[in-house]
């Protein structure tokens, strides 16, 4: 039973965004080393590529200390002038490094900086860059008592406020996968959306009930999220030694790794195998078991709602039997939105994307790529030509970012 659960935990790494299949990525335990505390995102990925990078710490209202990195162009001709601020929000089991894993010509974080944008990079609580709290240690179970709801309403909301305060400008938001769940939930809040100029969502998710990934559906059907919590596991950290060893050997076991990624994210068209080692050096990052359960609740119930604690605690916390829904129609019609999604994405299914669109008051600008899967939108070698130029054109069409 323990072996089965460990295998399942390893599969969960791939859930919604991370890990790999053997043809593109190798499960090499040597690459999955634990980074020392003095290693930083700036020093590891951004400064070596020739970009200036500043590190900030933001305190959330519930006491977490989260990392926020500011990246500037390597182009000296810009004379230090900063363009509109854009905040990049990563997805599940990833962190801010996800935007810098390819070359400067392929990675969105670098591309935006070179295009003159003032790039800010989020890493939410629990990731290796953001394991601080004013009173809790990451070893405390209370440290991991959160889901994407808190990531949206506390982490992302506070980072938007920080960027807005520092730049005195409204903020452009870019999210991928779980980062889009967070963005949509945050944009429903009037005190947050008033600080946002526009949002670009890659693989947008607010509903998951048409998800088609067979391995994910199997895990949901077995209620493995509930099993994890029942076992007293609160942190999902796939860099623990036992799980590193498992990842290193899993392809020799019962799981067919050549089909693993496709079975979870959909068929991805455009990976470059040269980034495999770097990808596995930085991913996956920890998340909470409660977060995983919240996502599984969305799949089972077909809702975009707050965390479901069960009938009695729901009554105590929410004053109703079921958790309140996040109402997409509360996002202002006047807020410009851009969405990119793919025909081979088994997580952000086209049917669910269409349901999200129907719930909005406004009409987002859309980019649909039939051959793109879930990970192509952040890892494709053709991303600049296929996706990012279109997104940047959308941002440019807005004119200069509005000052407060």
Residues forming beta bridges with residue 121, ordered by sequence position = 69, 88
Residue whose structure tokens are 């929000």:
89
Q: What is the DSSP letter of 326?
A: P
Which residues make Cβ contacts (< 8 Å) with residue 240, sequence separation at least 6?
Answer: none
Give the distance, in angstroms, between the CA of residue 125 and the centroid of all CA atoms in the same chain.
12
Query: Two tokens at 366?
Result: 């859309």
Active site residues: 177, 345, 374
Residues forming beta bridges with residue 58, ordered by sequence position = 66
SS3 at position 312:
helix
Query: Two tokens at 393?
Result: 């054109």
Element holding 54 (H helix, E strand): strand 52-59
The CB density around residue 335, as the number of other CB atoms within 10 Å, is 17
- In terms of Cα–Cα distance, which of 301, 307, 287 is closest to 220? 301
The β-bridge relationship of strands 235-236 and 287-288 is: antiparallel
């Amino acid at each position: 039973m323990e072996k089965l659960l460990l295998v399942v935990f390893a599969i969960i790494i791939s859930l919604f965004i991370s890990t790999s299949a053997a043809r593109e990525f190798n499960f090499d335990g040597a690459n999955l080393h634990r980074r020392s505390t003095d290693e930083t995102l700036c020093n590891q990925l951004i400064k070596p590529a020739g970009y200036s990078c500043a590190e900030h710490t933001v305190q959330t209202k519930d006491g977490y200390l989260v990392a926020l990195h500011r990246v500037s162009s390597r182009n000296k001709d810009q004379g230090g002038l900063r363009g509109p601020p854009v905040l990049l929000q990563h997805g599940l089991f990833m962190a801010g490094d996800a935007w810098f894993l390819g070359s400067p010509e392929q990675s969105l974080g670098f591309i935006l900086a070179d295009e003159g944008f003032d790039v800010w990079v989020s890493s939410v609580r629990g990731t290796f860059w953001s394991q601080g709290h004013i009173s809790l240690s990451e070893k405390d179970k209370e440290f991991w008592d959160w889901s994407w709801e808190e990531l949206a309403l506390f982490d992302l909301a506070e980072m938007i406020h920080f960027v807005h305060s520092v730049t005195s400008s409204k903020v452009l938001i870019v999210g991928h996968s779980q980062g889009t769940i967070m963005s949509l939930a945050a944009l429903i809040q009037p005190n947050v959306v008033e600080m946002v100029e526009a949002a670009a969502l890659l693989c947008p998710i607010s509903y998951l009930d048409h998800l088609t990934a067979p391995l994910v559906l199997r895990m949901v059907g077995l209620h493995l999220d509930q099993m994890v919590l029942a076992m007293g596991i609160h942190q999902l950290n796939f860099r623990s030694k036992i799980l590193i060893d498992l990842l290193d050997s899993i392809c020799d076991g019962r799981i067919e790794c050549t089909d693993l990624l496709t079975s979870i994210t959909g068929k991805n068209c455009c990976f470059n195998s040269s980034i495999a080692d770097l990808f596995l050096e930085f991913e996956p990052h920890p998340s909470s078991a409660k977060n995983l359960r919240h996502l599984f609740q969305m799949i089972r119930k077909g809702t975009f709602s707050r965390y479901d604690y069960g009938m009695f605690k729901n009554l105590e916390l929410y004053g109703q039997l079921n958790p309140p829904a996040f109402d997409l129609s509360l996002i202002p019609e006047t807020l410009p939105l851009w969405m990119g999604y793919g025909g081979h994405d088994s997580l952000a299914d086209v049917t669910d994307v269409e349901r999200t669109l129907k719930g909005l008051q406004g009409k987002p600008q859309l980019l649909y790529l039939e051959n793109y899967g879930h990970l192509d939108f952040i890892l494709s070698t053709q991303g600049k030509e296929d996706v990012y130029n279109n997104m940047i054109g959308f941002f440019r069409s807005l004119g200069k970012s509005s000052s407060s």
